[in-house]
Amino acid sequence: MKKKAYPYKIFYIVFLLIILFLLPTFLKNPYFLDIAITVLLYAFLGNAWNIVGGYCGQASLGHAAYYGIGAYISTILFLKFGISPWIGMIVGAAFAGVLAIISGYPSLRMKGPYFVFFTIGFAETIRVLFLTWEWVEGSRGIIIPFENNPVNFIFFSKIPYYYIILIFLIIGMFITYSISKSKIGKYSVAIREDETMAKALGINTALYKSYAFAISASLMAIGGSFYAQYVLFIHPNNLMSLNNSVYFMLIAVAGGKGTLFGPLIGSATLMPLLEYFRSTLGGRFAGLGILFVGLIVMIIGTAAPEGIIGVLNKIRVRYSIGSKHNSIVREEK
């Protein structure tokens, strides 16, 4: 006889969804709406990183390259070939996926810090290449002319952007959820836990790492296209910076790497801090946000490696809130 714990989680999720969908009606101020969009965007990007970094354990610090490539592909296709960014976004995602597999290939055998170095080096190379590439305007960056045209993924008001990124996030998290329940997900986790053991269990680790990388990079590229259409200005240093790559990782890690809601929680915690200090105080004080984030990151490194979700779990276990006990074993006599 199976006993299932009461699915109270569903209620939380529905509640959260309702709040998120109704948010724009409360946040009339475009400034706050902008922060909300940023939170959702970085939650989306953190979720993409989480697939390969959290679930599969391949902590790449070069993901900003795919973010930028997505932005550039959809923008170039739009401005030079008249293709709508909605389509360009898909093209960018496909390209990023393939690139991830190709560029990831040399790194499949690299361990620990070498792998991290490789991803950093790769992203920086891409960034500098784009900086010096005349055809994509290099260090001048590209401005996307504003027009109120939904077909071309440009809107006058921020509200459509909010709902679009919200839907992207929901889809992204759903993808992560499906993966985590599937063979790809279980194998990715095995690779993360112990790659040698995974091989001994018949897992083609190179193949599954590539899967995770490709999916992760594709989602990253979609986020990049969104950014391009939202901000209407792209530049290699804004998109493909090591800073960004680290933020994607930090958001997932701060929230709880390898968990479904980690990136959302991480983004909701870190991004408002960063944004607030960056835009309200300027100049020297722009650094304050980074200071706080840096402190949070240090605390996570020393005391809370499983992130906010890890801390919440510990609290829950400590005070025995809720019953986590699922009896799943069939009794056979």
Interface with another protein, residue 121, by CB under 8 A: yes
Task: Judge whether 155 and 161 are in contact, CB under 8 Å.
Answer: yes
Q: How many Å is the Cα radius of gyration of the chain? A: 21
Binds another protein by CB under 8 A, chosen from 7, 82, 145, 202:
202
Nearer to another protein, 149 or 204 (CB): 204
- How many residues line the site for another protein (CB under 8 A)? 70
Q: Quick one: 317 exposed, middle or buried, by C-beta within 10 A (0-12, 13-18, 19+)?
A: exposed
Structure tokens at 207: 């193949």
Q: How far is the CB of 23 from another protein (least distance, A)?
A: 29
Interface with another protein, residue 59, by CB under 8 A: yes
Structure tokens at 215: 């999916």
Nearer to another protein, 106 or 322 (CB): 106
Choose the stretch contacting another protein; rule: CB under 8 A; options: 73-81, 111-119, 210-218, 223-231.
111-119
Interface with another protein, residue 294, by CB under 8 A: yes
Q: What are phi and psi of 132, to 5 degrees?
A: -105, 5
**Residue 272 C-beta-side C-alpha neighbours within 13 Å:** 8
Identify the three-state secondary structure at position 6: coil
Considering only residues 227-266, where is the footprint of another protein by CB under 8 A? 246, 250, 253, 257
Nearer to another protein, 305 or 322 (CB): 305
Binds another protein by CB under 8 A, chosen from 44, 55, 66, 122:
122
Interface with another protein, residue 117, by CB under 8 A: yes
Q: How far is the CB of 43 from another protein (least distance, A)?
A: 19
Q: How far is the CB of 26 from another protein (least distance, A)?
A: 32
CB atoms under 10 Å from CB of 196, counted, come to 9
Q: What are phi and psi of 73, to 5 degrees?
A: -65, -50
Interface with another protein, residue 14, by CB under 8 A: no
Rounded to whole angstroms, the Cα distance separating 266 from 133 reads: 35
Interface with another protein, residue 194, by CB under 8 A: yes
Nearer to another protein, 173 or 270 (CB): 270
Structure tokens at 145: 């002319």
| Residue in the structure block whose two tokens are 């709902």 | 163
Nearer to another protein, 46 or 85 (CB): 46
Interface with another protein, residue 296, by CB under 8 A: yes
Interface with another protein, residue 317, by CB under 8 A: no
Rounded to whole angstroms, the Cα distance separating 83 from 68 reads: 18
